[in-house]
Structure 1
């Protein structure tokens, strides 16, 4: 087993052989949780990697090559955190027909203790939300291009309990025990050199999600998303990444489904609005083929209905971290990021890139 954790190419710690050569059973993978919204914690996943015969032949015949198409993965996952939040679920991520079809599906149950900030208020309202989350997502490559057309369906039944009685501004009582269902159409462009830890290329997309009572939910509203992630090599050692992201909702959206600024250094749901916009820049420096240092900064706004873009405040974060190439043949890098947001310092354990 320990021999499989050493790369014969450079004699360094590497999990490629262990992951792919043991693809005949479930592999336990422990992980840490460092999301500031739920506290610190941990859990474990049992992962089953489905490497095709063709992928295996290519890997064994080209040990120095990094696979551009990741193997399909089936997993069972569970975790808990210091504030009492917990999650368990099953999922499958598949790549079929030489990456012409991409699929992601899962069923998750959880209970999360979070904070809700009504409007632009700085007063935190503690609440618990628990329920089941069901996802089906598929993308089809358009001919031999880098464009994908896809669709997904999401159904989430939830029950929310605030830690005090009384009405909370902006929350309809029906939202506390409800079901939210949506169908979405999306168009994605993806020229990244690796899906786990890209170093060059572009991923960009637009998506329109339609939440409707006819789909099995209790709400009628629309959600629109646009994003672009770019990765480029400035030189052999230096790399630069850029991220832009916009989201907007219209209609009777429940409080927990409003967009929020999703950046390192900012807890989930801390800065919510009916519209959000953000940008991030990340600079990387390769110490060698295994170790990479990174620095990043970003800023964004969460805008409520009735307010203009200029009315909202910029929320900025910055930080630094490192990555280690833990699975060379998969191009998978892992590491730690330390980020400072508007209110606090946070630490993140990263598997792959920070931008999803």
Structure 2
């Protein structure tokens, strides 16, 4: 298990909350007025989310990740809108906020294959978006599958433990560049089901701690952090794992990525994603990168190095509804392989979005993707990346 899965859970919880807060009590007409946009009169959650950001709110969550099955849970979230943000929003109701409110949350979820997750987190935007922060602690118990190189046979394993993370970025002057660092400490127990090979043998359990200190440089000119329509986010990151930072494994991993969004015309948009990750020898199997793309289960295509490219084309039916199609391809390559030896793994699909919170620029919808093995349905809150 790696930290990207935990951060994905945090993002899903946050964006799910922003979307699902709009679920109304249809018996109350006055309640429904809070979900009507004063600009176009259509269903919108902006006012409800922002004007009621006091106290914790219970939010349902839905999980559709093929690696762990279907499931759900709930989050208790608190939105922190600054006085400056509130004043700007009230003065300019037609304007989409470029700085999302900070969010503190408590999350719990479980899935059909017996996996579960619970934890607390805070996602903050401070000093007029000059400082960005994400931190928290999660307890997780995941039932997953591990595929050895060249094998179609899945090896079942369970991993459970505590995942603590701190992530902070500082804007460089008035630019779109951020310099940052993060720290992750993951103490876990991994147990492997040996019964397919050795019937009657008890599962093999391994206790370990994987910790890293990471340094990163990020460029972010996106027009919205929840569901960008234009701009680019790109970055490079190096993580140093070892006993000096509290772990049992000595290795390094590196990550470079580009996510670029463009408007081709008033109604047409295109988004491009490039991503590459590399891990040196010494990493535990669960920490190695995998092809992370719609249509592919987590850890299905995993190796020492991964590279992928994905493109998404969208069309706005009107100011609220958008349809889209996407396709991508990636490779998982071990250190003892050449790039050409690894096979390209392809995925494609389509979906739709609805602008559910105009003043936050938040869109929600559904994607259906087909990877090498199966069809998968994803409930999306914000951007897919």
TM range (shorter): over 0.9
Q: Does 1:122 align with 2:152?
A: yes
In 2, are the aligned partners of 1:175 and 1:254 still within 8 Å (CA)?
A: no
Describe the SS at the equivalent of 2:65. coil
The TM-score with structure 1 as length reference comes to 0.96
Q: Does 1:232 align with 2:262?
A: yes
Of 285, 301, 323, 2:331 maps to: 301
Which region of structure 1 is more displaced relative to structure 2, 313-322 or 173-182? 173-182
Of 312, 316, 339, 2:369 maps to: 339
Of 12, 16, 22, 2:52 maps to: 22
Task: Report the Cα offset of residue 165 of structure 1.
Answer: 5.5
Distance 2:161 2:32 in 1: 41
In 2, are the aligned partners of 1:74 and 1:91 still within 8 Å (CA)?
A: yes
Q: Does 1:73 align with 2:113?
A: no
**Taking structure 1 as reference, are residues 175 and 238 closer, same or farther at Cα in structure 2, changes over 3 Å only?**
farther
Q: Does 1:94 align with 2:124?
A: yes
Equivalent position of 2:190 in the other structure: 160
Of 132, 136, 143, 1:113 maps to: 143
Equivalent position of 2:314 in the other structure: 284
Distance 1:220 1:349 in 2: 37
Which region of structure 1 is more displaced relative to structure 2, 118-127 or 272-281? 118-127
Distance 2:204 2:156 in 1: 18
Task: Report the Cα offset of residue 291 of structure 1.
Answer: 0.5
Task: Report the Cα offset of residue 43 of structure 1.
Answer: 1.1
Distance 1:15 1:28 in 2: 16
Q: Does 1:310 align with 2:374?
A: no
Q: Does 1:327 align with 2:357?
A: yes
Q: Does 1:144 align with 2:174?
A: yes
Distance 2:365 2:196 in 1: 44
Task: Report the Cα offset of residue 28 of structure 1.
Answer: 1.9
Q: Does 1:206 align with 2:236?
A: yes
Which region of structure 1 is more displaced relative to structure 2, 267-276 or 115-124? 115-124
Distance 2:209 2:152 in 1: 28
Distance 2:123 2:108 in 1: 17
In 1, are the aligned partners of 2:140 and 2:162 still within 8 Å (CA)?
A: yes
Distance 2:59 2:265 in 1: 34
Distance 2:140 2:52 in 1: 30
Task: Report the Cα offset of residue 251 of structure 1.
Answer: 2.5
Task: Report the Cα offset of residue 167 of structure 1.
Answer: 9.0
Distance 2:97 2:175 in 1: 19
In 1, are the aligned partners of 2:194 and 2:204 still within 8 Å (CA)?
A: no
The CA RMSD over aligned residues, in Å, is 1.5
Describe the SS at the equivalent of 1:40. strand
- Segments of 5+ residues of structure 1 without an aligned counterpart are none
Task: Report the Cα offset of residue 276 of structure 1.
Answer: 0.3
Distance 2:43 2:234 in 1: 33
Of 338, 341, 352, 2:382 maps to: 352
Distance 1:319 1:336 in 2: 11
Q: Does 1:197 align with 2:227?
A: yes
Equivalent position of 2:276 in the other structure: 246
Distance 2:161 2:299 in 1: 18
Q: Does 1:33 align with 2:63?
A: yes
Task: Report the Cα offset of residue 120 of structure 1.
Answer: 2.5
Distance 1:240 1:176 in 2: 45
Q: Deviations over 1:54-112 (max 9, x none)?
A: 10011111111100000110011111111111101100000111100000001001111
Task: Report the Cα offset of residue 337 of structure 1.
Answer: 0.4
Distance 2:360 2:366 in 1: 19
The TM-score with structure 2 as length reference comes to 0.89
Equivalent position of 1:257 in the other structure: 287
Equivalent position of 1:85 in the other structure: 115
Describe the SS at the equivalent of 1:235. coil
- Segments of 5+ residues of structure 2 without an aligned counterpart are 1-30
Describe the SS at the equivalent of 1:5. coil
Task: Report the Cα offset of residue 46 of structure 1.
Answer: 1.1
Distance 1:95 1:111 in 2: 30
Of 159, 182, 185, 2:212 maps to: 182
Distance 2:150 2:178 in 1: 37
